[in-house]
Amino acid sequence: MKAFALTVGTLWDGRIQVWVQVANGFQSKHKASTEPGAPWTEWKDYPMPSGFQVSNLPCAFPVAGGNLNVFCNAQQIYKADNPDSLVAKGPSTIMFKTEYNPGGTSDWAPWWGTPPGSVLLGGWTEGGQLNIPPIGYAGGYPSQALWAKTDKGIVYVSKSIGDGSMGPFVKFMPPPPTSLLWTLYSSNNSDQNTMAVGGEAFWWTGTDINETPGEGQPYLTLYWFTESGWKEFSPALPKATGGVASLAAGVIADSPAQVFASDVNGDLWTIWQKYDQTKMSWFWLPEWLSFPLPGGHKLPSLAPGSLDFALPSLARNVLAAAQTVTGELQLFALDENGTVWTIWKKSAEPGASWSEWVTF
């Protein structure tokens, strides 16, 4: 199996489910049980329906009733009028399927109300994944948001409403500049925990392409969205890295957030929050730290030709993080050969050591 992108979701009982994009759609596997050390199921195929080709940017998050919704960006394909091109690609749309609680799955279908010409950016559920159901609620239901961007650069968000369903897409202000907006991620941090120590209620991260002053080369800048609005994340990755190429964010049991980023050179970095007892608030490390590569292999770059299909100005999800039901943080990654790897913290303690990378 050669994978192009991945995402991670959490099933109704806390089991992690991993989805990877392959040539004809997706494959998925999950933990057989919530017991520590439980085996994983075999990969199962989830092909795209006839007439659609998966594009990229998968994401998955729990919804009302304990179901798990899986989303991806897809394009309609049809026979072209030009005989030299047998297949042409139609407009982009968001597709989804549901993994039901306590079992069963739906077919892929277009997501209702998707703005025309949009691509999927990401989604999140308020509340830590350790908590079943999640901590965050909207009128008694888990609170979610789904993000999309049109081919004209307009960003939309659809948020859950009081009855647990998703509301219509409405315009949302993207971080500046608006030329390219890349995938949005969430740490799934608990508002109750962060607000209790005076921190931000939520944070999301996104990247955009800027010109490096004086160099004239694209540099991928990381932004985050807080209660104060969009802010450029500080500290930035060193400019020698070329900036952020893919992101993953997660929390561990006592709620500090940790972010992982691969750069355009295929190297892996991480940064996390610590608690200041004096100020009674969380703070970020002063700089990003290098994180070991899976098996010593580089992660995919953003160079032209690094994909088997054309995805202009779109990032790849080659990193995904999830919190296990017992509180440990687990990271998944794709290397440049399309192999899936995973690594996990050995306990839920903030300073716990990591396992070795293993192929997944």
Tens digits of per-residue pLDDT, 261-294? 888 888 999 988 887 778 777 788 899 999 999 9
Cβ atoms 6, 60 nearer than 8 A: no
C-beta pairs of 215-219 under 8 Å, 24+ apart in sequence: 218/243, 219/243
* Closest by CA position to 149, among listed 187, 192, 100, 116: 116
Instruction: Supply the pLDDT for residue 303.
Output: 52
Has residue 172 got a pLDDT over 90?
A: no
The pLDDT value recorded for residue 55 is 67
For the chain, the average pLDDT equals 74
pLDDT at 183 over 70: no
Q: Which of the following CATH numbers is that of domain 5-359: 2.60.40.1930, 2.120.10.70, 3.40.640.10, 3.50.50.60?
A: 2.120.10.70
pLDDT score, position 277: 79
Residue 286 pLDDT: 92
Q: Pairing relation of β-strands 281-284 and 218-226? A: unpaired
pLDDT the model gives residue 348:
75
Task: Please state the pTM of the whole predicted model.
Answer: 0.85
Q: Which of 111-125, 150-164, 179-193, 334-348 has the lowest mean pLDDT?
A: 179-193
Q: What is the pLDDT of residue 137?
A: 44
Of residues 247, 248, 291, 253, the one with CA closest to residue 269: 291
Instruction: Give the residue extent of every domain in the chain.
Output: 5-359
Most confident of the following: 38-52, 118-132, 170-184, 294-308: 38-52
Residue 214 clears pLDDT 60, i.e. is over it: no
- Select from 155, 203, 205, 148 the least CA-distant residue to 179: 155
Q: Are 251 and 257 in contact (CB under 8 A)?
A: yes
Q: How far, in Å, CA of 245 to CA of 267, rounded?
A: 10
Q: Identify the pLDDT of residue 197.
A: 28
27-75 residue pLDDT tens? 999 988 888 778 999 999 988 888 887 766 678 877 767 788 888 888 7
Asked if 99 contacts 105 with a C-beta cutoff of 8 angstroms, the reply is: yes
Task: Read off the pLDDT of each residue in 82-105 and give the average, rounded to a whole number.
Answer: 76
Q: Which residue has the higher pLDDT, 358 or 185?
A: 358
